[in-house]
Chain A
Amino acid sequence: MMTTHLPILPVLAPFLAGALLLALPDLPMPVRRRIATFAVAAQIAIAVALLVATGGGDILVYRLGDWPAPWGIVLVADRLAAWLVLTATLLALCAVIHAGDGTDRRGRHFHVLFQMQLFGIAGAFLTGDLFNLFVFFEILLIASYGLLLHGGGAERTRAGLHYVVLNLIGSTAFLFAAGLIYASLGSLNMADIAARAAQVPPENLGLARTGGLLLLAVFALKAALLPLFLWLPAAYAHTSAPVAALFAIMTKVGAYALLRADTLLFGSTSGALAGLFAPWLLPLALATLAAGMFGALAAESLRRLAAWLVVASVGTLLTGFALGPAGVAAGLYYLPHGTFAAALLFLLAEGIARRRPAGADFFAPERDMPRHALWGGLFFAAAVAAAGLPPLSGFLGKFMLLRAAQGHPAQAWIWGVVLVAALAGVIALARAGSRLFFSTRTVEPAPAAPQSAPVDMLPDELPDPPGAPRELTAILGLLGLILALTAAAGPAADFARATAAQLADPAAYRAAVLGGSR
């Protein structure tokens, strides 16, 4: 019975937790935090169960209302969906722990929006219906609008307005794309679309191609692929740290949708529509990687730097996705690493900004911060992870990527861009670290001020801000996840390879959803 209903549990759990928190507005904040943390922990347990259930290669199909497949909406859990749901929930646990240090008090309904965001993310990963994917995108977007603006402030509103308007245009384009695909292929079930794409009548081919390429544009906007990435740095740099950390998975939702469409809708068995995305993905991904690293080199604050590294990590990921099964495996191994590393940098940026009252996280000289050895060490570890240096998992992911590119016609380009971008990342992070930690200035005692400002108002070391234990727990948790991904590199890479093999065989997905008739 549990296995039957397993695919819908990752969607239901956050929805019910969010509804519960919304229905009980008078609960004291510590209780709300405990409920939210417990809900995320339960979602991790569900995601692990889903990973175990799909790990053997089974594709679990959940027919809502038990309507047969092409007509009703289906949720489909395969290895890819389970892998991504687990990544998202693990990230969410660290983000929700960090939010408990006071961020969640700076506005109403933080935890409700947080759970609804997880609801939308899990739904987007699991749904097997194109229009339902649109609905889950809208759910995760409207929750993200609330979270992005949480806490308020002029800069946040300005960045939020751009983010909302761009995503509304993206949603409209998604509807146009879904309409075109329904008009030309006559179905919205993704497995059914894949089956019908093989025998699309020639007079509808143009419409179907237009719809498919419009989908590419929409998913590229969500994934922040060049040239549609300009909204990301401002939006991510100006929101609160736990939200920015959670948003590290949001670009991966777009990357997931691109991968799903590329392998299933326009996969190897889709006849005239096969490989519709192929000419676009690799050049755009490499250009995105390069643009992200240029941005990182030019960043003036740690948050901006982290936001640009999110763009670069999307570029790395999609370079992998464009290289066939071996590249997809590399990308899927790199995906959790890139997500956790970006989130880690956002949380660290917040922690550092709180301890440098005048300079915040800008690369400007400032008084030495309290416990600088601890924060410097954490930053060093995070920088090693974000730059993809050995011994952490980012290096392994990039190494798999370079191996996958061996013998590819564009090998020189791929190796060149990936390696030079890695060097640029090291330079950007080294510059950030030396500016933040080494370039300190000593504080002169206040010159005999006429008013009674006692000298001990300016101590050499500032006191540690409140909420530090939660902050450190979240940061160490993310670091632990990266270490675990490094230590378990063998099994994780095997799983990524098995996932890539499953994605390369869209016929199995179609048979699971449509009952083997086609």
Chain B
Amino acid sequence: MELLIALAIGTLTGCGVWLALRAHTFPVVLGLTLLSYAVNLFLFATGRLVVGRPPVIAAGAAYTDPLPQALVLTAIVIGFAMTAFVIMLALRARAELGNDHVDGKNE
């Protein structure tokens, strides 16, 4: 499972970085979204991967770390809002600059 999670995070981050380096706003927004997915998965794994345990402290029992889940929840909410904002901004840039190049110039 560690390998699977690590590969998933690595693939998402790699694709995200590659897309964020593109010259048009749509791939950049997609890249940012992929990066935020990658970081959410990554945060989830920072409490170490544990299977079949309760998420909060039960008497004496082993438990999964609840803190990363709280962090992921916060990160998802913030990432969601930021993605919505950057999409609106990209649309506005498309309307005001006349094209979707990140520097606003025609090629």
Chain A residues proximal to chain B, CB less than 8 Å: 131, 135, 138, 142, 145, 149, 152-154, 157-158, 160-162, 164-165, 168-169, 171-172, 175-176, 178-180, 182-183, 188
Residue of B nearest to A182 (CB): B46
A161 and B93 in contact, given A131-B74, A182-B68 (Cβ under 8 angstroms): yes
Residues of B within 8 A of A (CB): 20, 25, 28, 32, 35-36, 38-39, 42-43, 45-48, 67-68, 71, 74-75, 78, 81-82, 85-86, 89-90, 92-93, 96-97, 102-104
**Is the CB–CB distance between A169 and B78 below 8 Å?**
no
Q: List 11 A-B contacts (CB under 8 A).
A: A142-B82, A145-B89, A157-B97, A157-B104, A162-B102, A178-B43, A178-B71, A179-B39, A179-B71, A180-B46, A183-B46
When the two chains form their complex, are residues B86 and A154 in contact, meaning their CB atoms are under 8 A apart? no
Partner of B78, one of A135, A161, A183: A135
Given A165-B32, A168-B82; A175-B92 close (CB under 8 Å):
no
- Besides A135-B78, A142-B82, A182-B46, 15 other CB < 8 A contacts? A131-B71, A138-B78, A152-B96, A154-B96, A154-B97, A157-B92, A161-B93, A164-B86, A165-B28, A165-B32, A169-B32, A172-B36, A172-B39, A183-B46, A183-B47
- Contact residue among B46, B74, B85, B96 (Cβ-Cβ distance under 8 Å from A179): B46
User: Which residue on A lies nearest to B43, using beta carbons?
Assistant: A179
Q: How far is the CA of A135 from the CA of B86 in the complex (A)?
A: 18
Chain B residues within an 8 Å CB radius of A180 = 46
**Cα distance, A493 to B58, chains bound together (Å):** 54
Q: How far is the CA of A168 from the CA of B90 in the complex (A)?
A: 14
A377 to B47 alpha-carbon distance, docked (Å): 60
Determine the distance from Cα of A171 to Cα of B35 in the docked complex, in whole angstroms: 10
Q: A19–B30 Cα gap in the complex (Å)? A: 32
Residue among B28, B45, B47, B93 making CB contact with A158, cutoff 8 Å: B93
What CA separation (Å) do A128 and B32 show in the bound complex? 28
For residue A153, which residues in chain B have a CB less than 8 angstroms away from its CB? 96
Contacts of B28 in A (CB 8 A): 165
Instruction: Find out whether the CB atom of A165 lies under 8 angstroms from the CB atom of B82.
Output: no
User: Can you name the residue of chain B whose Cβ is closest to the Cβ of A149?
Assistant: B89
By a CB distance below 8 angstroms, the chain B residues around A161 are 25, 89-90, 93, 102, 104
Q: Check A169 against B20 for contact (C-beta < 8 Å).
A: yes
The CA of A142 and the CA of B90, in the complex, are separated in Å by: 15
Whether the pair B42, A160 counts as a contact (CB closer than 8 A) is: no
Contacts of A188 in B (CB 8 A): 67
User: Which residues on A sit within 8 Å (CB–CB) of B85?
Assistant: 142, 145, 164
CA–CA, A171 and B20, complex, Å = 14
Give the chain A neighbours of B47 by CB distance below 8 A: 182-183
Of A145, A152, A175, which contacts B43 at CB under 8 A?
Answer: A175
Contact at A158–B97, with CB atoms within 8 Å? yes
Instruction: Tell me if A165 and B86 are in contact (CB < 8 A).
Output: yes
Closest chain A residue to B32, Cβ basis: A168
From A168, A172, A175, A178, contact of B86 by CB (8 A): A168
Q: Which of A157, A162, A178 contacts B96 (CB 8 A)?
A: A157
Q: Tell whether, in the assembled complex, residue A169 and residue B104 are in contact, meaning their CB atoms are under 8 Å apart.
A: no
B-side contacts of A176, CB under 8 Å = 39, 42
CB distance from A38 to the nearest CB of B (A): 29
Q: In the assembled complex, how far is the CB of residue B67 from the closest CB belonging to chain A, in whole angstroms?
A: 7
How near does chain A come to B53, taking the closest CB pair, in angstroms? 17
Report whether A164 and B89 are in contact in the complex, using a CB–CB cutoff of 8 Å. Answer: yes
**Cα-based distance from A145 to B93 in the complex (angstroms):** 14
Q: How far is the CB of A135 from chain B (nearest CB, A)?
A: 7
A138–B85 Cα distance when bound, in Å, is 13
Give the complex CA separation of A135 and B25 in angstroms: 26
Q: How far is the CB of B79 from chain A (nearest CB, A)?
A: 8
The 4 closest A-B pairs by CB, nearest first: A183-B46, A179-B46, A158-B104, A175-B39
**A440 to B64 CA separation, bound complex (whole angstroms):** 72
B5 to chain A, nearest CB (A): 13
The interface residues of chain B lying within 8 Å CB-to-CB of A182 are 46-47, 67-68, 71
Q: A154-B104, A161-B25, A164-B86 are in contact. Are A135 and B93 (CB under 8 A)?
A: no
Residues of A near B89 (CB, < 8 A) are: 145, 149, 157, 160-161, 164
Interface centre among A149, A152, A183 (most CB of B within 10 A): A183
In angstroms, Cα B82 to Cα A131, docked, is 17
Q: Whole-angstrom distance between the alpha carbons of A139 and B99 in the complex?
A: 30
In the assembly, what is the distance between CA of A182 and CA of B69, in Å?
A: 13
Determine if B103 and A158 form an interchain contact, defined as CB atoms under 8 angstroms apart. yes
With A135-B74, A138-B78, A164-B86 as contacts: A169 and B35 at CB distance below 8 Å: yes
A176 to B71, CA, bound (A): 12
Q: Min CB distance, A130 to chain B, in Å? A: 10
Q: Is the CB–CB distance between A172 and B35 below 8 Å?
A: yes
Shortest C-beta distance, B14 to chain A (Å), equals 13
A142 to B79, CA, bound (A): 11
Taking CB atoms, residues of chain B closer than 8 Å to A152 are 96
